[in-house]
């Protein structure tokens, strides 16, 4: 069972299991953990669906179109935002070494630092996360980063 976590009327994080949910340093309440199916979680993780939180109910909404990166620079901008979140998580002073996703996030960080963006044919007509999934790159969705 996976979780979508809301806080102050908005979607805050996602977690694939109870351990990841508990690794998110937040109090329940005010945060609320909503159960979602593994299939729904995977659609969110792959960025083919998003979460909508309205009237204290969470729904998973599939996107009509895939995310498209028309050129290398647009993908790099997206990845820079992801790297910012990852670098905060990996900062040694944060004490996240014991978190369940630490090794995956560290590996993902290494991949992003050495990734050859010119190896992709543009436009990339899918989400970066779908690309990772299809190319066996260990990754996390930004909402998974504790």
- Please indicate, yes or no, whether residues 82 and 131 belong to a single structural domain of this protein: yes
Q: Please tell me the distance from the alpha carbon of residue 37 to that of residue 32, in angstroms, as a whole number.
A: 16
CB 132 within 8 A of CB 142: no
Range of the domain at 112: 72-141
Whether 66 has a pLDDT exceeding 80, the answer reads: no
Considering 62, 82, 105, which residue would you say is the last residue of a domain? 62
- Please indicate, yes or no, whether residues 76 and 136 belong to a single structural domain of this protein: yes
- Please indicate, yes or no, whether residues 90 and 120 belong to a single structural domain of this protein: yes
Sheet hosting strand 2-7, strand order edge to edge: 10-15, 2-7, 32-36
Predicted local distance difference test score (pLDDT) of residue 139: 97
Q: How many domains does the chain have?
A: 2
Q: Is residue 146 part of a domain?
A: no
Q: Is residue 93 part of a domain?
A: yes
Q: Is residue 67 part of a domain?
A: no
Question: DSSP labels for the chain?
Answer: -EEEEEETTEEEEEESSHHHHHHS---TTTSEEEEE-HHHHHHHHTTSEEEEEETTEEEEEE-SS---B-SHHHHHHHHHHHHHHHHHHH-GGG--TTSTTHHHHHHHHHHHHH--GGGSPSSB-S-HHHHHHHTT-----GGG--
- Please indicate, yes or no, whether residues 93 and 56 belong to a single structural domain of this protein: no
Q: Is residue 122 part of a domain?
A: yes
Q: What does pTM read for this prediction?
A: 0.90
Considering 22, 39, 62, which residue would you say is the last residue of a domain? 62
Tokens 């992003």 found at:
112
- Please indicate, yes or no, whether residues 76 and 135 belong to a single structural domain of this protein: yes
Q: Is residue 84 part of a domain?
A: yes
- Please indicate, yes or no, whether residues 89 and 137 belong to a single structural domain of this protein: yes
Considering 14, 31, 62, which residue would you say is the last residue of a domain? 62
Condensed to tens digits (0 to 9), the pLDDT of residues 47-63 reads 999 888 888 788 889 88
Condensed to tens digits (0 to 9), the pLDDT of residues 5-62 reads 998 888 899 999 999 999 997 887 889 999 999 999 999 999 999 888 888 788 889 8
Condensed to tens digits (0 to 9), the pLDDT of residues 111-130 reads 999 999 999 999 999 999 99
- Please indicate, yes or no, whether residues 44 and 93 belong to a single structural domain of this protein: no
């Amino acid at each position: 069972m996976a979780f979508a976590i809301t806080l102050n009327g908005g979607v805050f994080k996602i977690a694939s299991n109870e351990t990841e949910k508990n690794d998110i340093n937040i109090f329940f309440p005010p945060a609320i953990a909503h159960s979602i199916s593994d299939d729904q979680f995977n659609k969110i993780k792959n960025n083919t669906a998003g979460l909508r939180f309205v009237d204290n109910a969470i729904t998973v909404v599939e996107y009509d179109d895939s995310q498209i990166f028309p050129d290398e620079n647009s993908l790099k901008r997206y990845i820079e935002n992801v790297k910012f979140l990852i670098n905060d998580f990996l900062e040694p002073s944060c004490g996240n070494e014991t978190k369940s996703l630490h090794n995956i996030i560290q590996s993902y960080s290494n991949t992003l630092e050495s990734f050859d963006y010119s190896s992709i044919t543009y436009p990339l007509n899918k989400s970066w996360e779908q690309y990772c999934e299809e190319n066996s790159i260990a990754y996390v969705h930004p909402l998974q980063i504790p």
